[in-house]
Structure 1
Amino acid sequence: MDKAVEVARDDFGTVSAGRANPALFQRVLVDYYGSPTPLNQLAGMQNPEARVLLVTPYDKSALKEIEKALVAMPNLSANVGNDGEIIRVTLPELTEERRKEFVKIVREKGEQAKVAIRNIRRKAKDDLDGLSEVGEDDISRAEKELDGATKGHVDQIDEALKRKEAELLEV
């Protein structure tokens, strides 16, 4: 369940709030000599301005492939420019409509994380029901602990979701 909360927070980080952040690009895979390679292994990233990110490839021959991967990124809608040495990614100013779209995307990611936690709970409950050598009191106590853990993790996701929504709607 902790892993599901961590993945949800990482997913929330990949949604732009109008500021250039290297976390937006943590899931970008670049076709580097035939194998998908994470962008952070191929290039350094800096954000000199709030809406600009500079991507400096370690290997200049990967420049075109990195640019192609950045242009193909879903939900980015940024201007990607290549000057032969570095790639400049400029994020547009977010409109009210685009902010609401991002909130919907984040809520969807949050709901997927909650479903993952509920699936973990269901599997653990089935495992508890399958135990025959343990007394009913112990199983009942374990189920209460499981429900408490589930509620705590769902609350963590809700809290992270609330923070991300506030960040997205902030003008």
Structure 2
Amino acid sequence: MEIIMQQHLEEAKRDMDKAYAHLQDAFVKLHVGRVVPTMLQGLLVAYYGNPTPLHQLASIQTADARTLAIQPWEQQAIPLIEKAITESQLGFATKNDGRVIMATLPPPSEERRKALVKLIKVEAEKSRIVIRNLRRDYKEIVKAAQKEGISENELKRSEKKLQELTDLYIDKINHLLALKETDVLSI
């Protein structure tokens, strides 16, 4: 039975890793003055009437700290890409020279930085909720195993390990939040 409990704890760890990775991805997409190509990763372009991910239509590179250079594979995609970037409300200003689109991110105002801090706090809280829900779900699995013959001591040990795992991931989320908040406010 101990092996089964260990497998459940490993599954819980994998699921908590996914929740933490999701938060990291969400934080990367929140721009704070420096641009990275992944900021446009989820952007869809209406290409021939089909929503197509931008990275399938063009190469995206960092030109400088505030500018992305987007070079479409086909020139007729330039106005469609520009329109998608403008409508995305990511805050980029675009211009093109007929071959390359330059998407520039203006420096964030104090108001924008405060809004970003609120947004990252909301994202962090969502991740904490996911972690706590995973703890609850796996705790139910552990309790169900008691009916299958697991001892009371093994049950308590498993619940304690599950709580330690939960605390670890909550601490990781809090640390990541503190770093991101400092990053946003120091621009």
Per-residue deviation, 1:77? 1.9
2:76 corresponds in structure 1 to 61
Query: Per-residue displacement from partner, 1:5-52 (whole Å, max 9, x unpaired)?
Result: 001001001111111211211221223344433222221112222111
1:168 corresponds in structure 2 to 184
**How many aligned positions are there?**
170
Using the size of structure 1 for normalisation, the TM-score is 0.91
Using the size of structure 2 for normalisation, the TM-score is 0.84
Distance 1:103 1:117 in 2: 21
2:18 corresponds in structure 1 to 3
Which residue, 135, 154, 165 being the options, matches 2:170?
154
Output aligned runs, 1:1-171, within 5 Å. Answer: 1-74=16-89, 76-131=90-145, 132-133=147-148, 134-171=150-187
Task: Report the 3-state secondary structure (helix = DSSP H, G, I; strand = E; otherwise coil) of the residue aligned with 1:130.
Answer: helix
Distance 1:143 1:169 in 2: 39
Choose between structure 1 and 2: higher helix proportion: 2
Task: Report the 3-state secondary structure (helix = DSSP H, G, I; strand = E; otherwise coil) of the residue aligned with 1:92.
Answer: coil
Distance 1:36 1:130 in 2: 45
Distance 1:92 1:112 in 2: 28
Identity of aligned residues (%): 39
- Cα RMSD between the aligned structures? 1.5
Per-residue deviation, 1:138? 1.1
Deviates most, 146-155 or 55-64: 55-64
2:3 corresponds in structure 1 to none
Distance 2:131 2:45 in 1: 31
Query: Per-residue displacement from partner, 1:40-97 (whole Å, max 9, x unpaired)?
Result: 22211122221111111123232232222211223x2221223322211111111111
Query: Per-residue displacement from partner, 1:100-129 (whole Å, max 9, x unpaired)?
Result: 111111111111111111111111111112
Structure whose alpha-carbon radius of gyration is higher: 2
Distance 2:29 2:160 in 1: 35
Any stretches of 5+ residues in structure 2 without a counterpart? Answer: 1-15
